[in-house]
Every structure is written in C-alpha cells, then in structure tokens.
Chain A
C-alpha cells in the first residue's frame, strides 16, 4: 500500500526547523542539565558512602516515626523502614554499584525537579481555568499514551547523547501525574470553603496560597510520589541514549544476555524505588 499521507515527514521537517532555529537554546539547555547532573554526581560521590547510608537511614526513620521518634510507638513505626534502607543501600554498595546508584538517583532527582517546576504551575492553571484545562488534558493524554521510547528520538535530535536527552525524555514521561494530581487536588477543595474565603474578603492570590494549595497538599504530594516512580521506571530506557547509572547496566545486561548483571542492577533499581516511594509517602501522610 502506497502512503497516502506522510505524517512522519512533516514531523521530521518541523523537528529539523526547530533544531536549526533554536540551536543556541538547545545548547544552553543541554549544557545546564548535563552540568547540573554531573555536579550533583560529583557532590554525592565526594561524600563517603557510609555517611550517605547513615543519613538516609535516619531520614527514613524520622519520616516514618515523626514526632514520636524517641518514643516506643515511633520506634515501632520507623524501625522496619530504617532497617530496609540500611540493608538495601549496603547491598547496592556491596554489589559494587554504588556509583551507578548515585548516578541514577541524581538523574531521577533532576528530572523530578524539572517535572515539578513545570507540572505544578500547569496543574494550578488547569484547575483554575476551564479553557486551559480543555487544552492541557488532551495533551497529557497524548503524552501518557505515546510509548516512552518514542520520546528518545527527538530528545537525541536536540541534545547530544548522555544524560540530557535521558533527563528530557524522563521529564516528558513523568510530567502528567504532577499536572493531573495538582489540578485534581485544587478542584476537590470544597466550594463552601472557598466561598467562606471570599466572604472574608480574601484576594484570589490568598485563596490560592492560603486555602486551595494547603488543602490540596496531600494530593499534590501523591503526585510528586508518582513523578518520582515514573522517573525511575524510565531510567533503563534513558540509558539507550547514553544516560549513566543502574539503567545502563540493565541495558548492557539485556544486550549481552547477562542474567547476573541484569538482575543485580535491576534489584538496585527496585531498592531505590522502594526507598524513594516510602520516604515520599511518609512525608505525604503527615
């Protein structure tokens, strides 16, 4: 069957034009993202591994135990997670993948940070304006249904191989829940609370910052948790365009048919995912 309509060709032309037209901009984004990722990596790797493990363990304990940290109930709540974090991180280190785990964590942190920087304002916008919502929703649907691999192609085109296209593809993949859950949280604030605010003469800004956002906070935090987990699920795919970390070891494991390598690095990703998930959930629970 002959192609009657050549969609791909137009997309390619558009991408080409974008690449040519804004090439200094892509260069600047590329440099800043890879510089940020590399500096964070260097920073984390400069700290001795056991210090990081101790700090994260204490952090996990505190997030779960909260105000009862020095009481029996708090100890019961926090100790399980703390032991898991301690054992999991020690296992990653003992398997020899500490450096890779740090690289993966950095990638996830940077991607999550950018996704939230874009996602939360967009979520607020789509909660407060029906027009914006009507525009943003179908775009989000499109972003979430497009297979994640497809994002690698333009990412590679605009940015050189390495961490940047990985971060960008991860941001696109993990952005939607930040927008959706922020919007949902704000929209589910009861009308009468907002009316009460208006009755007391609150400005729109006060309504947003003093009523809607605080009440939507648990939902927004659930969104953040989703963003982090989606970022983590993207790290293996991101390594196909040269992103570093545990994902690249999994990718080599797949390519080289190396069960041991693939399993160890996969296990490392699972441990990181559980730790990040539990800590963010504990913060959200408050």
Chain B
C-alpha cells in the first residue's frame, strides 16, 4: 500500500483530542468495567511482541553468517555473531551515496512543504482574496487522487524538461503537497485574528505580518509537517525507482529493492543487513520525536 495511509491524512478529519490531552488516570469512583483488568496488559504485551518480532528478528539475523541465516530450523540468537554482512554490503553497494540521496530528497521536500504550505495555508485561513474557494477546492480535491494516476504524465513531463535521472526530478513533484496545506490551514485558523489586526494597526504590511508574526507561531505545526513529510519521502519508492536510472541517483529503498529482486536475491544475510540500514535510522528518528508527532497530529485534529 502506498502513502495514502499517512497518519496525518487523518488528522484534520477526526474531531477528537489525543490521549495525551486527556487525564490518563480516571477517577476510580465506580468500581468495575471501566477499570483496567490485569489480563489486558498481558494480552497487549503479547500483541506488541508479535508486532515487534519482525524488527527484532531482522536486527539479530543481520549479524548471522549466511549459512546460519538459511539454517533449518532457524536459530534465534546468532551462534557466531559477525559483521560480515555489513562489511560486504558496504563494499558492494555505495551506501553513503544512497544515504545522502535519500537525505537530500527527503530533507528538501520536507523543508519546501513547510514553507510553501504555510504560505498558502495562511492565505486560505486568514486572508480574503478572489479565487480563494477555487484554490481550496482544487487543492482539497486532489488529496484523494492516487499517485499512480499522475505517474505516467509526470514521467513524460520530467523527461521533457530534462530532469529524468536527477534528484531535482525526484523532489519537484512532491514539493506542493495538498495535505500540508490542509494541516497548516487548520492550525492557522486557530490563531487569534486580533494578532493580525493589531499588527495591521501598527502599520505592518501583509507579507511582513506573515513572516514575522504568524510564521514564528507556527513552529509546532511546521515541526509535525516536516517530520511526517520527511518520513514519507524517506520511504517513498515508486517515483524514485522510475526516475533514477544511474546507480549514483538511487535512494536507499530503490537500491535495496533492486538488490533484493535482482541476481543477489539468495544473499539473505546481506538483504537483512540492508533492511536494517534503511529502517533503523527512521525508527530512531520516530522514537526520538514520537511525542511531538503524536501531539502535532492531535493539535491539528482538534478543530
């Protein structure tokens, strides 16, 4: 499945506060069903183990020798832990380049979305202008269009403007993401109009108001949008696969996929080590920022 299931897509539509904003410990005045039965923790823990096993197994197995990875029955803990998968992976594939490409594409798309979406979001939330309803309808309408619909015309266009096989060609189509506009608009709507009126009374120009009054207040929403866009782009697959033809333009998922389905598909130890290299950095980023991300989704979802 593709990016449609972005957590954030949902944010604006649920009219609900996130758990973080609700008192965690409820009054225990009424005994009984609304209290947590102990077995529930057990069931949830078991479920969590099931969900996390593929990650744990991936990391552990990436330190096994090729022979042990294929062993029947499989071993759980590596008998002779080895780094050889990582050594081979980095000597065969140019991971620093893929890593840099992924970071450049995801970083630029995230930064671009933050700036452009905030600009349009502010205009749609607080300014009055001819064509406003049309712009909003157009942007909102495309939230539902599946990526594959634009895929072939976009490819023809990218080739014709000379951006095939370039990072620019990977970045441009994603710089104007409709979701970001929606998120920023929802957030800016909640900022008080009096702020803007006060700035106008003080003689600030409309653009000045945006850059020095509104934008600094948008940091919580901008951070959320930035992180979500970065994660989505880091994992983006189909478009980079189509656009990159030279190996030095591959992003991490493309390099891994082509390696996985190509001649080397029998080298499972290498593939697992490659998966670790792709997944672990984003997992760490997510874990470090999860509170902020969840709060951000909640914050923009309250309206």
A binds B: no
